[in-house]
């Protein structure tokens, strides 16, 4: 039987949390766990992270040895789904706290048929653009809201200043897809409507929405600065923090880096739409969940803790302690960091979706996510046409995914 979020717990209860977020260890020990203990003083909670690159293998070893913690931090989609299929994660369908989350929020930790929830959503990352407010003021620029305004802004920066308009390179490839294709694409394929139509086979990657996304990406090339083809992710971050670039195609996780390294005020804006007043769509990508170890001997206490994590109290604490990682619950909260608050405000203005290659569509060979990295970089480099890029990823998906055959 599930306990409520205020249910009594035996004094002997101790919960251990497996996680890859070693950077957050102090936040858990100094802020989150003490907050939980104010209302649940009889439950001891230990946050026991593993370095991110070692987490998956270390967790598997612990699960096989029977030494894994009571609560398992879940990566999105297939990695966690495999743990559930292998019997390592408990079914969370009866968990009351799940009522606080939308279907989009829960989509990364649900079975393909949508029936079984095995991790509770914790946090997402959002995509958009970060800009240097001092450069914008110097050049008398306004934040662009439409694509025409966006490219006029880039042209002004290029022609009337020494600054690089867009800080992004293609050497690592993943940024081209993640901060490029998946950032601007949802406005073209209409968010969840288009993403689900790819899953069902109703739409194809050669349809105009996807070709047009690649066409818009191709227009970035003149504004990326000299030698962008050899520019890595860290190089792009440095160009922005050193005030050498005006705009940075961003993941919200960059906020903390820029807070630490930039000595200027920066802001953010969502991907511009085709025409003013149109519905906007944002990539609000499910990044982290948390589930219960199916072998835990302390499941009731674990359920109590998860229900507390579904609360407004947890959402507010987490969003303010880890700016750029946003709670996935439906609670309306205030974030002190102005740029993080700006990112999160888009949820009220725009429709949320997730990266379209992550659920099911990257299971086969060739892997759609990896293909998107490659072709997005080539499109920006000018070595592949938008039409050819769309044809290549559609051909790859068609090889193994039946609804697209």
What was the pLDDT predicted at 3? 40
Domain boundaries, the chain: 14-125+285-341, 127-283+353-404
Average pLDDT, the chain: 95
Q: What is the pLDDT of residue 12?
A: 54
For domain 14-125+285-341, the CATH architecture is 3-Layer(aba) Sandwich (3.40)
Quote the DSSP letter at residue 89: B
DSSP assignments along 179-210, one per residue: IIIHHHHHHHHTTHHHHHHHHHTSS-TTSHHH
Task: Say what the pLDDT of residue 173 is.
Answer: 97
Of the pLDDT bands very low, low, confident and very high (cuts 50, 70, 90), residue 4 is very low
Gyration radius from the chain CA atoms: 22
Residue 45 corresponds to which tokens in the numbers above? 């909670």
Measured on CA atoms in the order 306, 307, 312, 317, is the torsion positive or negative?
negative
Cβ neighbours for 227, distance < 8 A, ≥ 6 positions apart: none
> Is 90 exceeded by the pLDDT of residue 268?
yes
| CA separation for the pair 309, 134 (Å, rounded) | 38
Q: Assess whether pLDDT exceeds 60 at residue 333.
A: yes
Counting every residue, how long is the chain? Answer: 405
pLDDT digits (tens, 9 = 90+) for 101-148: 999 899 999 999 999 999 999 999 999 999 999 999 999 999 999 999
Instruction: Report, as an integer, the average pLDDT of 389-402.
Output: 98
What was the pLDDT predicted at 316? 96
How much is the pLDDT for 142? 98
Same fold, 14-125+285-341 and 127-283+353-404: yes
| pLDDT over 60 at 259, yes or no | yes
Query: If you average pLDDT over residues 187-203, what whole number do you get?
Result: 97
Question: What is the reported pLDDT for 13?
Answer: 86
| Cα 59 from Cα 50, distance rounded (Å) | 9
Please state which CATH number belongs to domain 127-283+353-404.
Answer: 3.40.190.10
Q: How far is CA 103 from the centre of its chain?
A: 16
Is the distance from CB of 276 to CB of 146 less than 8 angstroms? yes
Query: 302 and 296 in contact (C-beta within 8 Å)?
Result: yes
pLDDT score at 23: 85
pLDDT reported for residue 7: 42
29, 69, 87, 256, 343 from 337: Cα distances, Å: 21, 32, 40, 10, 10
Q: Which residues contact 300 (CB under 8 A, 6 or more apart)?
A: 1, 2, 3, 7, 9
Whether 49 contacts 19, CB under 8 Å = yes
Choose among 326, 171, 314, 154: nearest CA to 248: 154
pLDDT digits (tens, 9 = 90+) for 348-373: 999 999 999 999 999 999 999 999 99
Nearest to 57 by CA among 253, 65, 28: 65
Mean pLDDT of 49-62: 94
Which spans in 8-77 are helix H? Answer: 25-27, 33-39, 52-65
Q: At what angle do helices 254-261 and 338-349 cross, to 10 degrees?
A: 150
């Amino acid at each position: 039987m599930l306990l409520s979020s205020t249910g009594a717990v035996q004094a002997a209860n101790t919960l251990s949390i497996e996680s890859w977020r070693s950077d957050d260890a102090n936040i858990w020990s100094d802020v989150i766990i003490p907050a939980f203990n104010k209302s649940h003083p009889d439950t001891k909670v230990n946050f026991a992270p593993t370095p991110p690159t070692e987490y998956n293998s270390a967790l598997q070893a612990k699960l096989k040895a029977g030494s894994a913690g009571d609560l398992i931090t879940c990566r999105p989609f297939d990695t966690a789904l495999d743990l559930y299929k292998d019997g390592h994660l408990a079914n969370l369908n009866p968990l009351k706290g799940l009522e606080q989350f939308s279907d989009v929020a829960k989509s990364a930790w649900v079975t393909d048929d949508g029936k079984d929830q095995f991790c509770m959503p914790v946090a997402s990352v959002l995509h958009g653009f970060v800009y240097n407010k001092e450069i914008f003021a110097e050049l008398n620029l306004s934040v662009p809201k439409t694509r025409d305004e966006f490219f006029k802004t880039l042209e002004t920066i290029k022609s009337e200043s020494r600054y690089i308009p867009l800080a992004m390179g293609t050497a690592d490839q993943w940024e081209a897809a993640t901060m490029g294709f998946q950032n601007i694409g949802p406005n073209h394929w209409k968010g969840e409507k288009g993403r689900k139509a790819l899953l069902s086979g109703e739409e194809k990657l050669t349809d105009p929405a996807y070709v047009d996304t690649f066409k818009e990406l191709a227009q970035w090339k003149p504004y990326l600065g000299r030698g962008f083809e050899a520019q890595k992710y860290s190089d792009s971050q440095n160009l922005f923090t050193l005030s050498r670039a005006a705009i940075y195609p961003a993941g919200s996780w960059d906020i903390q880096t820029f807070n630490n390294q930039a000595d200027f005020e920066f802001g953010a804006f969502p991907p511009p739409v085709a025409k003013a007043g149109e519905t906007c769509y944002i990539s609000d990508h499910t990044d982290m969940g948390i589930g219960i170890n199916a072998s835990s001997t302390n499941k009731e206490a674990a359920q109590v803790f998860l229900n507390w994590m579904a609360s407004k109290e947890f959402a507010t604490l987490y969003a303010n302690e880890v700016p750029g990682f946003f709670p996935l619950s439906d609670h309306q909260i205030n974030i002190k960091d102005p740029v993080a608050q700006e990112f999160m405000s888009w949820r009220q203005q725009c429709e949320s979706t997730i990266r379209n290659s992550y659920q099911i569509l990257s299971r086969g060979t060739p892997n759609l996510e990896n293909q998107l990295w490659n072709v997005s970089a080539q499109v920006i480099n000018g070595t592949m046409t938008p039409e050819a890029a769309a044809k290549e990823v559609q051909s790859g998906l068609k090889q193994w995914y039946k609804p697209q055959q």
